[in-house]
Amino acid sequence: MRTVNAYAATSATAPLAPTTITRRDVGPHDVAIDIHFAGICHSDIHTVRAEWGQPNYPVVPGHEIAGVVSAVGSEVTKFAAGDRVGVGCFVDSCRECEFCRAGLEQFCERGMVGTYNAVDRDGQPTYGGYSGAIVVDENYVLRIPDALPLDAAAPLLCAGITTYSPLRHWNAGPGKQVAVIGLGGLGHVAVKLARALGAEVTVLSQSLKKMEDGLRLGAGHYYATSDRDTFKKLRNRFDLMLNTVSAPVDLAALANLLKVDGTLVLLGMPDKPLELPAGALIRGRRSVSGSLIGGIAETQEMLDFCAEHGVLPEIEVITPDYINEAYDRVVASDVRYRFVIDTASLRG
Ligand code: NAP
Ligand code: ZN
Ligand code: ZN
């Protein structure tokens, strides 16, 4: 076992603070990774603030991990020391069920092992990327293409795959009208990916404050959800809508913007249930669905796609002592567009 520096939350209200954790010895199938960068996802905040139920404190969040391999186990074939790698939202799964075999490990019947706030297959708690190093089975490690800088690549491991997977699943591409609701961490990557896939993209944000950014990121249209006219103008417009809002939204108003057979995909997971009148779906054979991150193979495909198409998250790199302020800014929708922690001071 090895002791590693980390930042942890010890309760729903205490600020995250420096601590140490242990990482297991490198087993035959393991990859030891020096973490260089970790993105701050809104899910980290929901988790540590107990908005999704009581987590197991201490929580070391972080599931947008980018780093460099420092050592590999004797049986590892996919990676070698010095490789640039990433780790996303899970670090293991049963590998045997229908969904694991289909590359949909996020829906593993026995439950994927979350990168943090979960129990690993050896019975030990998992700790995430706000730390100096991590040890992960090689089958749950991603390769970061050379064209992607490690700091900007980090958010792709969650925000990237969470938006890429539904865009692909619901066939976003040329001739398709795609709406992205909420221009935060997920939303801004969704705009870039949908555009790179060839779709016509519309941003629906609370206000027009970030309009210039939205258009620069690749949106063709930008509307404020605070303006009720928006919901008249855009009625029956979209084939696909991705809701990335972290707070409750007016589902009926949004669903009315779908074309016949259009789909509204829920990605944001607020702590309160949403209301959905049946008529909003019935009139238009519309669907409301959900999507959870993506499997390992699709995550690699997404990283390669981003390298090929020059899709890079827009980031603000911070030091670990700024994490608590960054959390408050994310909650206030004051993030442009992903905070990424430089973990240099935690390595050693
Ligand atoms: P984020 O950076 O905070 O972005 C969320 C955006 O939602 C904000 O930038 C803001 O955009 C909008 N928003 C926030 N509060 C709002 C409010 N009260 N009313 C209306 N709009 C509001 O968060 P994120 O990291 O992108 O994550 C977004 C959500 O997705 C979170 O709930 C997170 O847990 C969830 N998530 C789900 C998955 C999955 O697999 N399904 C994966 C990762 C994250 P505007 O300012 O443009 O309105
Ligand atoms: Zn996330
Ligand atoms: Zn499984």
User: What would the pLDDT profile of 268-308 be if each residue is shown by its tens digit?
Assistant: 999 899 999 999 999 999 999 999 999 999 999 999 999 99
DSSP for 164-219 reads HHHHHHTT--TT-EEEEE--SHHHHHHHHHHHHTT-EEEEEESSSTTHHHHHHHT-
For residues 249-274, give the mean pLDDT: 96
Extents of the domains making up the chain: 2-158+294-346, 160-290
The correct answer on CATH 3.90.180.10 for the domain covering 2-158+294-346 is yes
Q: Which CATH class is domain 160-290?
A: alpha beta
**What is the position in ligand 1's atom list of the atom closest to the CA of 291?**
41
Ligand 1 site, residue 184, Cβ cutoff 6 A: yes
pTM to 2 decimals?
Answer: 0.98
> 199-211 pLDDT, tens per residue?
999 999 999 999 9
Average predicted confidence (pLDDT) for the chain: 98
**What is the position in ligand 1's atom list of the atom closest to the CA of 269?**
32
One fold for both 2-158+294-346 and 160-290? no
For residues 4-16, give the mean pLDDT: 98
CA 151/CA 66 separation, integer angstroms: 7
In this structure, the number of other CB atoms found within 10 A of the CB of residue 162 comes to: 29
Beta bridge partners of 31: 72, 136
Question: Which band of pLDDT confidence, cut at 50, 70 and 90, is reported for residue 348?
Answer: confident
Q: Please report, rounded to a whole number, the percentage of residues in the chain having pLDDT higher than 70.
A: 100
Ligand 1 site, residue 106, Cβ cutoff 6 A: no
Mention every residue, 6+ apart, whose C-beta is less than 8 A from residue 140.
87, 90, 91, 92, 93, 105, 296
Q: What's the pLDDT at 23? A: 97
Q: What's the pLDDT at 120? A: 95
Residue 227 CA to ligand 2 centre (angstroms): 29
Q: Which amino acid is at 303?
A: L
> 123-169 pLDDT, tens per residue?
999 999 999 999 999 999 999 999 999 999 999 999 999 999 999 99
Q: Whose CA is nearest to atom 7 of ligand 1?
A: 245
CA 111/CA 93 separation, integer angstroms: 6
> 15-54 pLDDT, tens per residue?
999 999 999 999 999 999 999 999 999 999 999 999 999 9
